[in-house]
Amino acid sequence: MTAPTYPTVRLRPKAEARAIRHGFPWIYSDELVTDRRTQALDPGALAVLEDADRRPLGLVTVNLRSRIIARMLDRDPEAVLDERWFSERLIRALALRDTLYDAPFYRLVHAEADGLPGVVIDRFGDVAVVQPNAAWAEAHLEPLVAALVAVTGVTTVVKNGSGRARGLEGLAEETLVLRGAVSGPVPVPMNGATYMADLLGGQKTGLFFDQRPNHAFAARLGRGQSVLDVFSHVGGFGLAALAAGARTALAVDASAAALDLAVQGAGLMGASDRFSTRQGDAFAVLEALAEEEARFGLVVCDPPAFAPAKPALEAGLRAYERVARLAAPLVAPGGFLVLCSCSHAVDLSAFRNASARGIGRGGRRSQILHTGFAGPDHPVLPQLAEGGYLKTLAFRLDG
């Protein structure tokens, strides 16, 4: 096959080419020469990246609408993004998940760490949900899906084209079934619990696989206890705790639809009599429970990203502190409080400090038992700290 002819883009003289050579996958808008030829490239176009001395660094995708103006796709500047190219990456990704898990329910592709920048693929048995969150992936969706079906054997593929990342890339929102059919929510076994995932209308891809190890750790703390699961979505922590032997679990979420799915999951587990829900604003429900003098052996708060980007950092930290302050008084003496953050802009130290301040302001003393992160089906590039977005802290509270 004749090698394709790609346009070239070039780093500015002060850009750190060494970081790119050592594996950093992003080029920011102030690092690239944006001459007339570069400005004429369509979002998602492929180009050969050169350093300031015109030495090739690899094949990148370019999007002038994004602050991440280029993403490294392949160190080979003559690579061809066809079905075979996608298959090679998917085979490698699948081999890792087959090593980690006995059942095909996991994140199959975690963007840059799996060699597909801006692409997320979650697998639910015979169904795969693809999030093409970058313009290049949208343009190459057909060979990606063909390779996905060939490599994994899934019979149904859903495109979930929603979320903040697509907006930053200038992409429209849409969710549709590309292959096969989806007749309703899909049952997902995890940590002994059963979750119902709405693949077409739920949050993200329908379920958060990243919390799997943290669900398991918290579930051990909740054995024989009453459990409060705040920002519960489809019952993530609460159902896992019931599966591990919790006495009762109360799930709190703003979404009635998510709570309905949690109830269905509890029913499939035979735990309906130990599971209850409360729909409403989480902060308001926490305050109401305090007025009711409710106490729980385990309280878990897993909110949405309060600080998805740096401009929201200070407000986000105040929100995390408020969550901890309101949750701490609801923990029975000697009980446990688990706090989570999925905010990219909040690092572990800042989240830990905000949580500790909130617990102190809630009138409690604490010790940290465990620090958790996303599961191994969410690998992180060592050069890209942003990939390690999830932080989970487990506290034991005295007094």
Inter-residue contact 234 to 202 (CB < 8 Å): yes
Q: Token digits for 95?
A: 């081999």
Coil, strand, or helix at residue 172? Answer: coil
Query: How would you classify the pairing of strands 119-124 and 275-279?
Result: unpaired
CB neighbours of residue 94 within 10 Å: 20
Residue count of the chain = 399
- Report yes or no: 156 and 182 within 8 Å, Cβ to Cβ: yes
Burial degree of 359 (CB within 10 A; 0-12, 13-18, 19+): buried
Is residue 340 part of the annotated active site? The answer reads no
User: Which stretches within the chain are classed as H helix?
Assistant: 17-21, 36-39, 83-100, 135-139, 141-152, 164-168, 212-221, 236-244, 256-268, 282-291, 313-327, 348-361
Catalytically annotated residue among 93, 94, 113, 342: 342
Nearest Cα to Cα of residue 77 among 178, 182, 147, 4: 4
**Radius of gyration (Cα) for the chain, nearest Å?**
23
Alpha-carbon distance 95 to 5, whole Å? 32
- Residue 292's CB is within 10 A of a number of other CB atoms, namely 9
Q: Which of 153, 145, 98 is nearest to 121 (CA)?
A: 145
What is the pairing mode between strands 193-197 and 226-230? unpaired
φ, ψ for residue 315, nearest 5 deg: -65, -40
Q: For residue 83, report the phi and psi dihedrals to the nearest 5 degrees.
A: -60, -35
CA distance 163 to 198: 16
Catalytic positions, written as ranges: 342
